[in-house]
C-alpha cells in the first residue's frame, strides 16, 4: 500500500484512501458487486415500469387492447379476450417482482459476505502487522490503542463506512434508473419533481454534515478512552483493589461511555430526521401530479395511471433517498476511522526485508558487537554508547551495573529486537533482518516479568505451539531443569492444570520458573536470563543457579542479575554504566579492582542466599 498522506479531506481523497486499503482481489470483488448493483437497478426499474400498463388497463382496457403492441403480444401468447390479457399482465407483474426479489437477495448475500470477509481480513492483516512490527515500534505505542484499532476501528470501518458506502452507491444507481424511467414517461413533471427533491436532499445533507463530523470526532475520542480505562482496570486489578482506588477509574470509564453513548444517540437522531422531510416532499409530489392533471391536462382520470406509477416510484425512491442520506451521514460520522485504519495499515506494511526468505545463521564460534550504539525513539540519550563486546559460544556472560546502565537494552540487541548504529556479527556474519527468525530460534529468553496465558502448564511452557504439536517430553524436561516438576506433579491434572489468567494461581517464584521452563523447551543454543531468579527464595535460587550453571559449555548463557550468587560463576562479567562498558573480566578480578563490587556496591551488598 502506498504511504498514507494524512486524513482524507475531499470525497475523492477519501475514496482513494479506501481503495488503497483494499487488496487487488478485494477491489475486483468490489467492482463485481457494483456490476450486480447495475443489474439490480434494471429489475427495480422494471418493477416500477410494469405498474403503468397495469394501471392503464384498469382505467381504460379498451384503449390498451386497441394498441398495436398489445395485439402483437396477444397473437404471440394466443390470447383472445381482455380477461386473459389481464391474467397475463398480472402474471408478468408477479414474475418481475419475483425475479427482482431473487436478484436483490443474491446481491445482499454478495455485499454482506464481501464486507464481513473484508472485516476479518483487515483485522487479521493489522494484528499480523502489529505482531511482526519491530520491537521499537511497540516501545512508542500504547497496546490498548493497538487493540482498539484491531477490534474497534475495523468493525466501524466496515459497518459505519463501507456498508453505508455500498448502500449509497446501490440506492443511487437504483434511483437514477427509476428517475430515467420517469423521465421517459413524463420528462417535464419528472424534472420538476427531481429538482425539488435534489435541492431538498442537498439542503438536508449540508445542514447535518458538520454535526455528523463533530459527533464522529467526539465518539472517536470517547472510544479510545473507554478502551484505555477498561484495559487499565482489568490489568491492574490487584493494585487498585489494595489501594482501594477502583472508584476513580470506574468514574473515568463511566464518563467515557457516557460521551460515547451521547454522541451515538445524537447521531442516530440526526440520521432519522431527514426521513420526515422526505416523506413530506413525497406526499407533496403526489398532490402535485394530481394538480398537474387537473389544471394542465384538464383530465383528472388521465392522471390515475401516471399517479399509480409515480406512487410506485415514490414507494421505491423514498426509502432510497432516506438510506442515501443516512449512509452519507454515517460516512461523515465515521470518516476519522478511514484515516486511523489507513495509517495503521501503512505503519505495519511489510518491507522488502520483512518479506525476504529467512536465511540460515549458524552459530559455532562467537557473537560480536562492534562499536554499537542505540537511542530509544524520542530520546537523545544513548542507552548504549560505543559498546564493543565478544561472547564466545558455550561461555557464560553476566551484565551488571546500576539501574539504567543499559543491561536490558544490550540483551534486547542480542535478541535481535533493537537495531542501532554499529554491527552485530554472528561468526563474522552481520545479523540482518532476513536472518532474524533463524537467529531467534536458537535463543531462549526469560524476561523480568513473565507473561502467562490463561491456559495449561504445558501450553505455557510450549507457548505459541499448537496443542496437538506440543512435545510433552520436552515440557517435562524443561520443568525439571527449572526446578518446577515436583510442584507440577502434585497438581490435580499435572502439566494439564490451568494456571489462571497471567498465572494467578501460581506464586511469583513459580511463575518465574515456568518462564525459565518456557525458555528451555526448544533446547536453545543461547539462554538469555534477565533477572530470571529475582523472585525466587534463596534455596530455590541456589538449586536453579546450579542447574543453569551446569548448562555452561553446552549452551551460551547471558545473564542479567544483581545477586552475587548468580553472576559469580560466570566466565565473563561485563560492568555497564551510562550505556558504556566500564570493565570486563572474571568476577574475582573485577571484585578486587572495581568499587561497584565492593563496600556499597549492590552486588556486594546482596547476600548470596
| pLDDT-derived band at 278, boundaries 50, 70, 90 | low
d(CA 524, CA 414) in angstroms, rounded, equals 14
The answer to whether 55 and 304 have CB atoms below 8 angstroms apart is yes
Our count of domains for the chain comes to 2
Residue from 109, 202, 249 nearest 101 by CA: 109
- Domain containing 57 equals 11-350
pLDDT at 276: 67
Phi, psi (rounded to 5 degrees) for 190: -65, -40
Whether the Cβ atoms of residue 567 and residue 557 lie closer than 8 Å to each other: no
Residue 604 belongs to some domain of the structure: yes
Give tens-digit pLDDT for 556-601. 999 987 776 678 888 899 999 999 999 898 888 888 888 777 654 4
SS (H, E, C) 404-471: CCCHHHHHHHHCCCCCCEEEEEECCEECCHHHHHHHHCCEEEECCCCCCCCCEHHHHHCCCCCHHHCC
Shared-domain flag, residues 334 and 373? no
Domain end residue (candidates: 350, 367, 396): 350
If asked whether residues 306 and 397 sit together in one domain, one would say no
Both 313 and 191 in a single domain? yes
Q: Give me the CATH number covering residue 604.
A: 3.40.50.300
| pLDDT more than 90, % of the chain | 16
Q: Is the pLDDT of residue 138 over 90?
A: no
In this prediction, residue 277 has a pLDDT band, given cuts at 50, 70 and 90, of low
Residue 369 has pLDDT above 90, yes or no: yes
Whether the Cβ atoms of residue 49 and residue 183 lie closer than 8 Å to each other? no
Among 55-59, 296-300, 386-390, top mean pLDDT goes to 386-390
Give the mean model confidence (pLDDT) for residues 115-133: 89
Which grid cell is 109?
448475500
pTM of the model: 0.74
User: How confident is the model at residue 549, as a pLDDT?
Assistant: 74
Q: Is residue 605 part of a domain?
A: yes
Smallest Cα–Cα separation from 532: which of 544, 547, 523? 544
| Grid coordinates of 174 | 437504483
Residues 31 and 151 in one domain: yes
- Whether 333 is covered by a domain: the verdict is yes
Q: What is the mean pLDDT of residues 60-84?
A: 64
Looking at the domain assignment, is residue 564 inside a domain? no
Quote the pLDDT of residue 434.
80
Q: Evaluate if residue 2 carries a pLDDT over 50.
A: no
Does 24 share its domain with 114? yes
Do both 232 and 293 map to the same domain? yes
Q: Do both 116 and 246 map to the same domain? A: yes
Q: Is residue 514 part of a domain?
A: no
Model pLDDT for residues 202-242, shown as the tens digit of each residue = 777 777 777 777 887 888 788 888 888 887 777 777 667 76
Pairing of strands 396-400, 421-426: unpaired
Instruction: Give residue-wise pLDDT tens across range 421-430.
Output: 999 999 988 8
Same domain, 289 and 194: yes
Structure confidence at residue 19 (pLDDT): 84
Amino acid at each position: 500500500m502506498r504511504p498514507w498522506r494524512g486524513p482524507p479531506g475531499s470525497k475523492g481523497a477519501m475514496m482513494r484512501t479506501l481503495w488503497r486499503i483494499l487488496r487487488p482481489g478485494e477491489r475486483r470483488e468490489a467492482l463485481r458487486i457494483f456490476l450486480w448493483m447495475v443489474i439490480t437497478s434494471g429489475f427495480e426499474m422494471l418493477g416500477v415500469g410494469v405498474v403503468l400498463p397495469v394501471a392503464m388497463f384498469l382505467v381504460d382496457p379498451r384503449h390498451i387492447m386497441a394498441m398495436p403492441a398489445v395485439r402483437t403480444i396477444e397473437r404471440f401468447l394466443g390470447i383472445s379476450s381482455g380477461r386473459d390479457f389481464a391474467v397475463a399482465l398480472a402474471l408478468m407483474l408477479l414474475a418481475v417482482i419475483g425475479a427482482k426479489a431473487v436478484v436483490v437477495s443474491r446481491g445482499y448475500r454478495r455485499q454482506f459476505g464481501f464486507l464481513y470477509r473484508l472485516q476479518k481480513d483487515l483485522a487479521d492483516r493489522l494484528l499480523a502487522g502489529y505482531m511482526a512490527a519491530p520491537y521499537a515500534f511497540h516501545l512508542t505505542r500504547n497496546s490498548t490503542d493497538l487493540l482498539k484499532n484491531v477490534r474497534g476501528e475495523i468493525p466501524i470501518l466496515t459497518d459505519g463506512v463501507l456498508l453505508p458506502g455500498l448502500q449509497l452507491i446501490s440506492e443511487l444507481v437504483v434511483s437514477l434508473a427509476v428517475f430515467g424511467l420517469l423521465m421517459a414517461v413524463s420528462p417535464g413533471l419528472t424534472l420538476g419533481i427531481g429538482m425539488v427533491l435534489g435541492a431538498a436532499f442537498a439542503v438536508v445533507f449540508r445542514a447535518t454534515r458538520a454535526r455528523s463530523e463533530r459527533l464522529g470526532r467526539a465518539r472517536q475520542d470517547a472510544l479510545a478512552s473507554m478502551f484505555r480505562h477498561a484495559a487499565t482496570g482489568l490489568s491492574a486489578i490487584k493494585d487498585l483493589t489494595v489501594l482501594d482506588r477502583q472508584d476513580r477509574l470506574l468514574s473515568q470509564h463511566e464518563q467515557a461511555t457516557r460521551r460515547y453513548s451521547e454522541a451515538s444517540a445524537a447521531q442516530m437522531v440526526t440520521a432519522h430526521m431527514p426521513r420526515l422531510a422526505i416523506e413530506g416532499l413525497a406526499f407533496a409530489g403526489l398532490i402535485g401530479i394530481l394538480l398537474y392533471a387537473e389544471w394542465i391536462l384538464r383530465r383528472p382520470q388521465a392522471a390515475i395511471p401516471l399517479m399509480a406509477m409515480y406512487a410506485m416510484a415514490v414507494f421505491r425512491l423514498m426509502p432510497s433517498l432516506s438510506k442515501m442520506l443516512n449512509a452519507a451521514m454515517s460516512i461523515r460520522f465515521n470518516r476519522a476511522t478511514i484515516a486511523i485504519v489507513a495509517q495503521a495499515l501503512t505503519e505495519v506494511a511489510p518491507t522488502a526485508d520483512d518479506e525476504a526468505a529467512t536465511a540460515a545463521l549458524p552459530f559455532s564460534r562467537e557473537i560480536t558487537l562492534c562499536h554499537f550504539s542505540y537511542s530509544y525513539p524520542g530520546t537523545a540519550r544513548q542507552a548504549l554508547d560505543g559498546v564493543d563486546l565478544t561472547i564466545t559460544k558455550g561461555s557464560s556472560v553476566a551484565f551488571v551495573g546500576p539501574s539504567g546502565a543499559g543491561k536490558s537494552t544490550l540483551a534486547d540487541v542480542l535478541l535481535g529486537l533493537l537495531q542501532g548504529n554499529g554491527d552485530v556479527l554472528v561468526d563474522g556474519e552481520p545479523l540482518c533482518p532476513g536472518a532474524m527468525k533463524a537467529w531467534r530460534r536458537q535463543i531462549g529468553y526469560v524476561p523480568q516479568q513473565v507473561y502467562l496465558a490463561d491456559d495449561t502448564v504445558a501450553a505455557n511452557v510450549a507457548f505459541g505451539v499448537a496443542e496437538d504439536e506440543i512435545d510433552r517430553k520436552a515440557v517435562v524436561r524443561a520443568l525439571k531443569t527449572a526446578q518446577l516438576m515436583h510442584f507440577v506433579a502434585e497438581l490435580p491434572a499435572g502439566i494439564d492444570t490451568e494456571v489462571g489468567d497471567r498465572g494467578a494461581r501460581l506464586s511469583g517464584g513459580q511463575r518465574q520458573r515456568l518462564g525459565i521452563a518456557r525458555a528451555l523447551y526448544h533446547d536453545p543454543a543461547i539462554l538469555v536470563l534477565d533477572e530470571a531468579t529475582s523472585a525466587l527464595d534463596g534455596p530455590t535460587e541456589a538449586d536453579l543457579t546450579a542447574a543453569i550453571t551446569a548448562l555452561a559449555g553446552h549452551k551460551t548463557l547471558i545473564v542479567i542479575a544483581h545477586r552475587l550468587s548468580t553472576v559469580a560463576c560466570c566466565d565473563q562479567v561485563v560492568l555497564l554504566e551510562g550505556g558504556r562498558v566500564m570493565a570486563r573480566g572474571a568476577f574475582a578480578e573485577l571484585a578486587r579492582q572495581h568499587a561497584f563490587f565492593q563496600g556499597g556496591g549492590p552486588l556486594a551488598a546482596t547476600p548470596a542466599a
